Structure 1
Amino acid sequence: MITNQQQQVIIDHLRPLRPYRIGVFGSFARGDNKQDSDLDILVALDYSLKPSLLDLVAIEQALTSALGIQVDLVTEKIFAPLY
């Protein structure tokens, strides 16, 4: 599980992207994370801002640094069907 402090750090770092939904999945969500577990974050974004892949990678790296945990940041678009 993530702490309230970690939750606030995540929100603060993602705020510039105007997310309308943020979720944690994987071992942290299940509560069975270990010392070397990564933190999987799923975010639904306001794409009118047109965030680039570099923007997302920069935020992922900033979160990893701020939290001291490897962060994997994914957007809901990975679940969109391919046409």
Structure 2
Amino acid sequence: MRSPSSLQTLPNLQQIVEDLRAFLPDIQKRYGVTSLGIFGSYAKGEQALESDVDLLVEFDDRPLTLLQFIALENELSDRLQVPVDLVEKNMLKPVLGQQILNEVMVL
């Protein structure tokens, strides 16, 4: 969780992208992540103090438990120092999913 003093400054999109690219090889290896992208307020440049980082993720064929999925989401939140909402691409609903796919910035 972010400290009270860090709540005054938000990371910008470039910082988020650089940080995610830095740990992408590790999470690919450990969790089987094959694709990771940013959507939502950060992708649109509309983030606010209460914003989370919305990440669209795809995994390889290895089984991933719910606990592992939550562990990945928590690890990304800790590393970015911003709450993360992790969304699996194959779980997108048609209408909202298309909107997300139109705005996602794939890393």
TM-score (norm 1): 0.79
Query: Structure 2: any 5+ residue segments left out of the alignment?
Result: 1-12, 95-107
- In the aligned structure 2, how far is the partner of 1:2 from the partner of 1:13? 20
The percent identity for this pair of structures is: 29
- Counting only pairs closer than 5 Å after superposition, residues 31-70 of structure 1 correspond to structure 2 as 31-46=45-60, 48-70=61-83
**Are 2:89 and 1:79 equivalent residues in the alignment?**
no
Query: Structure 1: any 5+ residue segments left out of the alignment?
Result: none
Identify the structure with bigger relative contact order (alpha carbons < 8 Å, sequence gap 6+): 2
**Are 2:78 and 1:27 equivalent residues in the alignment?**
no
Q: Contact 2:31–2:72 at 8 Å: present in 1 too?
A: no
TM-score (norm 2): 0.64
| Alignment-mate amino acid for residue 90 of structure 2 | K
Q: Contact 2:52–2:83 at 8 Å: present in 1 too?
A: yes
- In the aligned structure 2, how far is the partner of 1:28 from the partner of 1:10? 18
Q: Contact 1:26–1:40 at 8 Å: present in 2 too?
A: yes
| Alignment-mate amino acid for residue 82 of structure 2 | I
Indicate the structure (1 or 2) with the bigger Cα radius of gyration: 2
